[in-house]
A = this chain, B = another copy of it.
Amino acid sequence: MQIIKTLSELSELCRSFHQAQQSICLVPTMGYYHAGHEDLMQYGRTLADKLVVSLFVNPTQFGPAEDLENYPKDHERDSRIAESHGCDVLFLPDAADMYTADHATWVEVPKMTKILCGLSRPIHFRGVCTVVLKLFNLTQADYAVFGEKDWQQQAILKKMVEDLNVPVTIKTRATVREADGLALSSRNVYLTAEERKQAPAIYAGLCAARTLVKKGERNAKKIKDLVLQKWAVDIPLGRLDYLNIVDPYNLENVEYLEQDALMACAVRLGKARLIDNILLPACGTQA
Q: Residues on A close to B: CB < 8 A?
A: 7, 11, 15, 100, 102-112, 129-130, 133-134, 137-138, 140, 159-160, 162-167, 250
The contact of A165 among B110, B112, B138, B159, by CB within 8 Å, is B138
Contact of B11 with A164 in the complex, beta carbons under 8 Å: no
Chain B proximity of A251: nearest CB distance (Å): 10
Beta-carbon nearest neighbor of A111 in chain B: B104
* A-B contact list, 24 entries, CB within 8 Å: A7-B165, A11-B167, A15-B167, A100-B162, A100-B163, A102-B250, A103-B163, A104-B109, A104-B159, A105-B107, A105-B159, A105-B163, A106-B107, A106-B109, A106-B110, A107-B107, A107-B164, A108-B108, A134-B164, A137-B164, A137-B166, A137-B167, A138-B165, A140-B167
Extra contacts besides A100-B163, A134-B165 (18): CB < 8 Å: A11-B165, A15-B167, A104-B109, A104-B111, A104-B112, A105-B109, A105-B160, A105-B163, A106-B107, A106-B109, A106-B110, A107-B164, A130-B164, A133-B164, A134-B163, A137-B164, A137-B166, A140-B167
The contact of A104 among B102, B110, B165, by CB within 8 Å, is B110
Contact of A137 with B165 in the complex, beta carbons under 8 Å: yes
Contact of B111 with A164 in the complex, beta carbons under 8 Å: no
Chain B residues near A110: list those with CB within 8 A: 104, 106
Beta-carbon nearest neighbor of A134 in chain B: B165
Beta-carbon nearest neighbor of A163 in chain B: B105
Chain B proximity of A169: nearest CB distance (Å): 13
Chain B residues near A105: list those with CB within 8 A: 107-109, 129, 159-160, 163-164
Contact of A163 with B104 in the complex, beta carbons under 8 Å: yes
Please measure, in the bound complex, the distance between the C-alpha atom of A102 and the C-alpha atom of B160, giving whole angstroms.
Answer: 11
Chain B residues near A103: list those with CB within 8 A: 163
Chain B residues near A134: list those with CB within 8 A: 163-165
Please measure, in the bound complex, the distance between the C-alpha atom of A109 and the C-alpha atom of B107, giving whole angstroms.
Answer: 9
Chain B proximity of A13: nearest CB distance (Å): 13
Chain B proximity of A125: nearest CB distance (Å): 11
Chain B proximity of A246: nearest CB distance (Å): 15
Please measure, in the bound complex, the distance between the C-alpha atom of A109 and the C-alpha atom of B140, giving whole angstroms.
Answer: 22
Chain B proximity of A99: nearest CB distance (Å): 8
> Which of A106, A109, A162, A166 has the most chain B CB within a 10 Å cutoff?
A106
